[in-house]
């Protein structure tokens, strides 16, 4: 194979891993649903070191890889971004936990849709996703499914997570009673169906073909989040779908990782990605452990809630970095 062919194969398998894993796990949903809370939380625990946290642990290296900025200046710029924006969001959790929890849902919706749109454009033959309308609809659907389908089909578990996050900072939590209504469930199901149909009709009218692969991924995502408990489903999606695709994107930036892929040198590739992501991953875990010492995290649910709050604080500046990446990489 040529170097370019090796890159294309790498992209292909990174795209297929998530749907294949989620499809297989959907078929085993009766067994997974019977697992204990601790067992269902394993994907989130694993995400501390495998794919999840590490997928954002290279943000400080991105500016020097995508611009003329020196590595030192890039590290300083991204560090300040995390300190300022992440710090403000941390304060908002302390004083406005309900608003902050709602913002986390919105932020994750945007960020996960943003990440999947890039993958469809750059890793799949996604010319049809370059137009504004299908791009917006695709990002809306793909980011929304992991956030809202669990709410429609597992409202008790979903709302318990919301309350657990809020309870870290407030003695009284919101009732979230409106989220139990059938109207919310109907709205979520209708939105996924209408948006998917609208995107398909538009693409067929413009390109004389349906986005079969894109629609198949949407079907896999919906089936997965309908069938599996939210704590397990979101943890798996976070690692094997979202984070894996973003790490693939980072791997293909100029540098040793890309060279290792073109040379089919797996050992070199693993070493370079580990070297780039491990330091900040370990620092993040240390920060999370320190936070746990000062918070009321006696239960498993409160520990997971703290981890989700911690992820939210990291996600905000991370989304800014990814948006900057989009502004540059979409030009090519």
pLDDT in tens, 233-249: 999 999 999 999 999 99
Dihedral, 258, 264, 265, 270 alpha carbons, nearest 10: 60
Dist CA 15 CA 240 (whole Å): 10
Instruction: State mean pLDDT over 246-263.
Output: 91
Dist CA 318 CA 141 (whole Å): 21
**Tens digits of residue pLDDT in 70-126:** 999 999 999 999 999 999 999 999 999 999 999 999 999 999 999 999 998 888 766
Give the Cβ contact number of residue 87 at 10 Å: 12
Dist CA 319 CA 246 (whole Å): 12
**Tens digits of residue pLDDT in 44-65:** 999 999 899 999 999 999 999 9
Dist CA 147 CA 164 (whole Å): 17
Give the Cβ contact number of residue 254 at 10 Å: 10
- Alpha helices for 208-299 (secondary structure H): 212-227, 230-237, 244-251, 256-262, 266-294
> Are the C-beta atoms of residues 140 and 113 closer than 8 Å to each other?
yes
Instruction: State mean pLDDT over 30-50.
Output: 91
pLDDT tops 70 at residue 68:
yes
Instruction: State mean pLDDT over 176-198.
Output: 88
What is the share, in percent, of the chain residues with pLDDT greater than 70? 98
Dist CA 132 CA 19 (whole Å): 25
Please state the domain extents for the chain: 3-329
- The whole-number pLDDT of residue 18 equals 94
Task: Using pLDDT thresholds of 50, 70 and 90, give the confidence band for residue 2.
Answer: low
Higher pLDDT, 297 or 67: 67
Dist CA 154 CA 159 (whole Å): 9
Choose among 37, 218, 47, 250: nearest CA to 137.
Answer: 218
pLDDT tops 60 at residue 3:
no
Task: Please give the structure tokens belonging to residue 256.
Answer: 């040793």
Mean pLDDT of the chain: 90
> Are the C-beta atoms of residues 271 and 127 closer than 8 Å to each other?
no
């Amino acid at each position: 194979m040529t170097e370019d062919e090796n890159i294309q194969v790498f992209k292909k398998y990174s795209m297929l891993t998530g749907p294949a894993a989620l499809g297989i796990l959907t078929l085993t949903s009766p067994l997974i649903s019977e697992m204990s809370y601790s067992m269902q939380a394993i994907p989130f625990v694993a995400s501390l070191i495998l794919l999840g946290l590490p997928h954002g642990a290279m943000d400080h290296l991105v500016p020097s890889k995508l611009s003329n900025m020196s590595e030192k200046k890039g590290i300083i710029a991204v560090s300040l971004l995390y300190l300022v924006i992440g710090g403000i969001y941390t304060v908002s959790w302390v004083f406005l936990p309900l608003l902050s929890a709602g913002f986390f849902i919105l932020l994750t919706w945007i960020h996960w849709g943003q990440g999947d749109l890039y993958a469809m454009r750059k890793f799949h033959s996604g010319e049809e996703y370059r137009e504004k309308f299908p791009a917006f609809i695709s990002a809306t659907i793909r980011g929304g499914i992991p956030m809202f389908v669990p709410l429609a089909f597992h409202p008790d578990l979903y709302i318990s997570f919301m309350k657990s996050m809020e309870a870290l900072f407030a003695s009284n939590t919101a009732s979230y009673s409106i989220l139990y209504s059938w109207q919310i469930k109907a709205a979520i199901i209708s939105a996924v169906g209408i948006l998917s149909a609208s995107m398909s009709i538009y693409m067929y009218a413009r390109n004389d073909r349906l986005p079969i692969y894109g629609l198949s991924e949407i079907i896999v995502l919906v089936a997965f989040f309908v069938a599996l408990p939210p704590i397990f489903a979101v943890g798996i999606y976070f690692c094997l779908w979202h984070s894996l695709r973003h790490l693939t994107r980072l791997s293909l930036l100029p540098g040793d990782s890309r060279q290792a892929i073109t040379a089919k040198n797996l050992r070199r590739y693993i070493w370079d990605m580990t070297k780039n992501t491990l330091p900040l991953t370990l620092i993040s875990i240390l920060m999370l452990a320190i936070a746990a010492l000062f918070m009321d995290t006696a239960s498993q649910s409160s520990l997971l809630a703290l981890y989700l709050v911690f992820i939210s604080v990291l996600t905000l500046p991370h989304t800014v970095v990814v948006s900057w990446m989009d502004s540059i990489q979409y030009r090519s």
